[in-house]
Structure 1
Amino acid sequence: MINVFDSSERQQFVRDARGMLRGGKAVLGTGLLKGGTASQHLASFRNLARYGASMTGLLEAGTARYPDRTALIDDDGELTYRELRTQARLTARVLASRGITEKSRVGILARNGRGFMIPLSAKGYLGYTVFLLNVGASRQQLHDIAVEHNLDVLFADSEFDDKLPTDVEGLTIVHAWAGPGHRTDIDFPTIQDLWAAPGTGDDSLPKKVNQGGVVLMSSGTSGTPKAVSHGEPTLPLGVLGPAIGSLGVKAGSTLQLTASMFHVLGWAVSVIALLAGCTIVTQRVFDPENVLRQVDKYKCDGIISSAVFLKDQLAVDLANPGKYDHSSVKFIVNAGNAMSEDLVLGLEKQYGYILGSAYGSTESLLIAWAGPEDIKADPTTAGFPVWNGRVALLDEEGREVEPGQVGIIHARTMMAMKGYLGDRDQAEETAGMLNLGDRGIIDPASGRLTVLGRDNDMIIVGGENIWPSSVSDLICRIEGVHDAYCTGVEDEKTFQRVKAYVVVDGTAEVTEDDVRKFVEENLITPAVPRDVVLQTEPLPRNVIGKVVKRDLVN
């Protein structure tokens, strides 16, 4: 951990330079520059110079070197690098003929697959600012986003037809993916309809493009989601290096991508995969058995997922011993949700010590990484800061806390956001670092970071601080419990009390008193949930696996 006030531009430059050098060495270790002719390498560098490290630039660079390699395998089949580039170029040319420029704003509301990757790959040719919209957003939220940010075009999966903002003037809507029974009363019911209907303007692609940003949307659990503006990636080797190095990632790998492409991890992996000439294997809707089926069929080298999905995947794998071959898997990456100790141990027993975990946020992207050795030593750790990142734990007055003390996590890396779009939201910063809104602790002996939970999630019961994740993780160890979630509710005597939502699977009888007794035997008394809701239906989770509190049964 660094001194929070050691933040001069010169010192930050030195940190960034050192991180770039270490990261560059890790990237070279992947074999990225091996193979290909001199002319192919030259073409790749020219495309990167023209389009930057956008998905467009990386797709063009990849196509120059391995045009016939498979880039994407999704529910609709396979696309080679050349085929994906052709469809991205065609999309960009039609958009150009319809007046879309680097000043335009385009939204994507799509699940994993070509419906997401084609419009995002088209972005770099024209330079428009792209908004990666949360597929869990409500109709009102989508309407407000389209109006507030003046979207010109919205590419959307037909799955979301009932909440498309069709009443927003000047907004063109295109089905990025069209399923059975899709609406035909929108501007372009299929992307093929768009390709077949160029406008009257010039459809040539500009030789020089000023790239607009990539805007990620906050979850928007209350009100309109925040629009978090990022620039196109600038090959942040110091940020990516720890993950690449510790997992032994190799260029040309085949990756099973469960993480949502519209979110931080999925978007980042999609971009990095094209840089490294990888094949992405994915599916629109998560099915744990299909993940295993894809891993077996395509001999995937890596799985990119989140704790809640890995838990279901592991359960299916254990219930079907030997049915699916996962011996090809060399690494598993988790992000988006913290893993419980039981899940980590279960994954390590089934797959070996190949698990890595990323910690970050929509605003900061990746700020800490835990490799297999870190997780082996401490299953719940978030690891160490990335190589050119700054991480500090501060108290309420903005002072750095001592190792071993709880503080609010603040961080800054070269991948941090440019800011929020509009005047409605303002970033919380101290000493140039973003407030991530989580509380954590630095282990005095190892220096590793542990994330305790959201700053506003802590439950104060009679003066005792209770972290709900510690209670829910414990409850999940009870035989017959499939899932659990704990939160705080108001209490007249103790200010707050713990309420537990417990999903039972029917393999063993579980009562409310069983849950209370188990917590009492393993944690302090204030952590015992007085309110226990037993249910058989799954917890309401959004597409990245986080529990939607407003949808919990009262």
Structure 2
Amino acid sequence: MSAPSYAHGVGDVALIGETIGENLAHTAARVPERDALVSCEQGIRWTYAQLDAAVDRLATGLLRSGVAKGDRVGLWSPNRAEWTLVQYATARIGAVLVNVNPAYRTHELSYALRHSGTKLLFSARAFKTSDYAAMVAQVGDELQELERVVFFDDDPAWDELAATPADAAALAERAATLSFDDPIDIQYTSGTTGAPKGATLSHHNLLNNGFLVGELIHYSEHDRICLPVPFYHCFGMVMGNLAATSHGACMVIPSAGFDPLATLRAVAQERCTSLYGVPTMFIAELEHPSFAEHDLSSLRTGIMAGSPCPIEVMKQVIDKMHMREVSICYGMTETSPVSTQTRTDDPLELRVGSVGRVGPHVEVKVVEPDTGMIVKRGETGELRTRGYSVMLGYWGELEKTAEAIDAAGWMHTGDLATMDDAGYVAIVGRIKDMVIRGGENVYPRELEELLHLHDDVVDVQVVGVPDAKYGEELCAWVRLRDGAAVGEDDVRAFCRERVAHFKVPRHVLFVDEFPMTVTGKVQKYKMREATIERLGLDTMEVEGR
């Protein structure tokens, strides 16, 4: 008789029972002179003693400016040294960091700040084509609880906060009021109802997930981690920053946004031992014209996550980039994020054909979605996870929290999976229709509701279709009002002004009707098949959907 699809990750090391601020202080005391952070574009290089002192200064500045325990502090910026300072300074005083996606436009920015009740916002002035300062000004009247905006560049307010003399007594007084189970971070994840939900995470969630991910790839103070992945996401701030600081490793920021050349240069110049990215990032690095000019021999490990990795890409990452111990991770924002991970000695076929085994101190099971009964090994069902990593809940959304986390504490991932006899998990589909585009999760419902605001759109349905570069792309099926003169570019322009670039549909089809069931339900799988045929897309199977 086949075993049930249940696995418990036995831990060789105990969970950390302290706050993020305490953990950083302990690391700084242990390895004060080791490099903690290098920001290549900014020319910044801090030891752990310097990082810890800088965090103390900013944390004291926040205290003196009236930031209380539990106050929400927004952070809207691409990767830079200041991002990391704010991350650790807010944790040190018990403020709740609100991560704002650098790709957000005004509608999304306003929603996140209003919904979270953000009191103070730290922001870059601009990034690429986004004028953050102008967008903040545009939505300012909508944000009744936002008291102050501080920009990182050319703003005396930032200089003053960051240079505040550290007050050890005041910091100790605040620290005495903090618990590692306190909420410390809100990350917005798109929802099937169109409105993003704020996954609320604790010190315990985040610190332990970063620490244990690092344990499985054997981090120590001798490691140097190149982080081209965004800090606003768990990939950067947890699997990157917290994995580093909990082990005394160095965080290397190659550039503000992903740049394959800057990444290759950072690895070579800083002698990085680990490199992170989604598969499309590794592909861009491997295909860069100057790839062969960079000495990557210092690399031994790294993490690839966000979407499945083609086997040929994995072979090149191992052979040409020297990442023999590269690891595949799977998870979701609501689980801090990692639930399963491949080990450094797993064979190639398991690194491309699975998302690994359950992590330490975590449980996973595969169940029949409707009944919740565990299925046998090898059978398909919904993957659910339980343990220290499961979020506290969705900010201000008790009903949605109860829908996601059941009475027994299991997080319902919505992913269809199988578990083999050795406990390796493979993601084979989605219960819901989420699209994973280059590691970014996009829910069609959000885009559908946005396009319904267009005066000439009668109805719209959005599906994910295969894409060789990003894994999946969005295709919008649009029904227009009679006589409307709207083209594909008009639809894309309407979206581009209102939502992040990765949510803008690459394909737009104008149709008279949608395939429907006899009961009137839209058949999205038929839409997807028809789109593939109509556009002549590669019919490769996109895993992770």
Say whether the fold is shared (TM-score over 0.5): yes
Partner of 1:70: 35
Partner secondary structure for residue 296 of structure 1: helix
Q: What code does the residue aligned with 1:426 have?
A: T
Q: What corresponds to 2:266 in structure 1? A: 294
- The question of whether the paired residues in 1 share the 8 Å contact of 2:226 and 2:263 is answered with yes
Residues 382 and 412, structure 2, Cα contact 8 Å, conserved in 1: yes
User: What is the aligned-residue RMSD (CA, Å)?
Assistant: 3.7
Q: Deviations over 1:3-26 (max 9, x none)?
A: 5899xxxxxxxx68x42xx135xx
Q: Distance in 1 between matches of 2:168 and 2:24?
A: 24
Map 1:8-87 → 2, pairs under 5 A: 18-19=10-11, 22-23=12-13, 52-54=18-20, 56-74=21-39, 75-77=41-43, 78-87=45-54
- CA displacement 1:457-516 (0-9 Å, x = unmatched): 399xxxxxxxx99x83xx73xxxxx5563668643699456778xxxxxxxxxxxxxxxx
Corresponding residue to 1:173 among 133, 141, 148: 148
| Aligned AA (2:383) | I
Residue 485 of structure 1 corresponds to 472
Q: Is residue 540 of structure 2 the alignment partner of residue 530 of structure 1?
A: no
Read off the aligned partner of 1:66 and give its amino acid letter: V
For residues 458 and 421 of structure 1, do their structure 2 counterparts lie closer, same or farther at Cα, with a shift above 3 Å needed? closer
**Cα distance between partner residues in 2 of 1:331 and 1:437:** 30
Q: Secondary structure at the match of 1:309?
A: helix
For the residue of structure 2 that corresponds to 1:158, the secondary structure is coil
* Residue number in structure 2 paired with 1:38: none
The residue number in structure 1 matching 2:459 is none
Match of 1:310 in 2: 282
In 2, distance between residues paired with 1:426 and 1:280? 33
Distance of aligned partners of 1:69 and 1:197 in 2 relative to their CA distance in 1, 3 Å threshold: closer
Mapped pair 1:435 → 2:412: yes
The CA deviation string for residues 53-106 of structure 1, in whole angstroms up to 9 with x for no partner, is 30x223322322333332111121222223322322222222222221214221
The residue number in structure 2 matching 1:329 is 299
Which residue in the other structure is 1:210 paired with? 178
Map of 2:65 onto structure 1: 98
| 1:115, distance to aligned residue in structure 2 (A) | 2.0
Q: Offset at 1:197? A: 8.7
d(CA) in 1 for partners of 2:184, 2:209: 20
In the TM superposition, what whole-angstrom CA distance separates every residue of 1:243-280 from its partner, at most 9, and x where no partner exists? 634x3433331110122222112111211211211111
Distance 1:146 1:203, change over 3 A: farther
In the TM superposition, residue 151 of structure 1 has moved relative to its aligned partner by 1.7
CA contact (8 A) 1:58 1:275 kept: yes
The secondary structure found in structure 1 opposite 2:532 is coil
1:244 aligns with 2:215: yes
Q: Which residue of 2 aligns with 1:389?
A: 362
The equivalent of 1:147 in structure 2 is 114
- Structure 1 residues 237, 63: closer, same or farther in 2, change over 3 A? closer
Residue ranges of structure 1 left out of the alignment (5+ in a row): 7-14, 28-47, 183-187, 460-467, 477-481, 501-525, 536-545, 548-554
Q: Conserved in 2, the CA contact under 8 Å of 1:357 and 1:382?
A: yes
Q: 1:57 to 1:321 in 2, by over 3 A?
A: same
Corresponding residue SS for 1:23: coil
What secondary structure does 1:416 align onto? coil
Unaligned runs of at least 5 residues, structure 2: 127-131, 436-462, 478-513, 539-543
User: Is the partner of 1:337 in helix, strand or coil?
Assistant: coil
Distance 2:430 2:349 in 1: 24
Q: State the structure with bigger RCO (CA 8 A, min sep 6), 1 or 2.
A: 2
Tell me the TM-score normalised to structure 1 length: 0.71
Query: AA paired with 2:235?
Result: L
What TM-score comes out, normalization by structure 2 length? 0.72
The answer (yes or no) to whether the contact 1:174–1:189 under 8 Å persists in 2 is no
Letter in 2 for 1:455: I
Identity of aligned residues (%): 19
Q: 1:149 to 1:114 in 2, by over 3 A?
A: same
1-structure distance, mates of 2:328, 2:37: 24
CA contact (8 A) 2:226 2:272 kept: yes
Matched to 1:276, the amino acid is: H
Runs (4+) of structure 1 exceeding 6 A deviation are 234-239
Moved more, 321-330 or 420-429: 420-429
Quick check: 1:497–1:529 contact (8 Å CA) kept in 2? Answer: no
Aligned length: 446
Choose which of 402, 416, 424 in structure 1 pairs with 2:390.
Answer: 416
1:137 alignment partner, SS class: coil
User: Structure 2 vs 1, CA of residues 421 and 258 (structure 1 numbering), >3 Å: closer, same or farther?
Assistant: same
Q: In the alignment, is the contact (CA less than 8 A) between 1:498 and 1:530 conserved in 2?
A: no
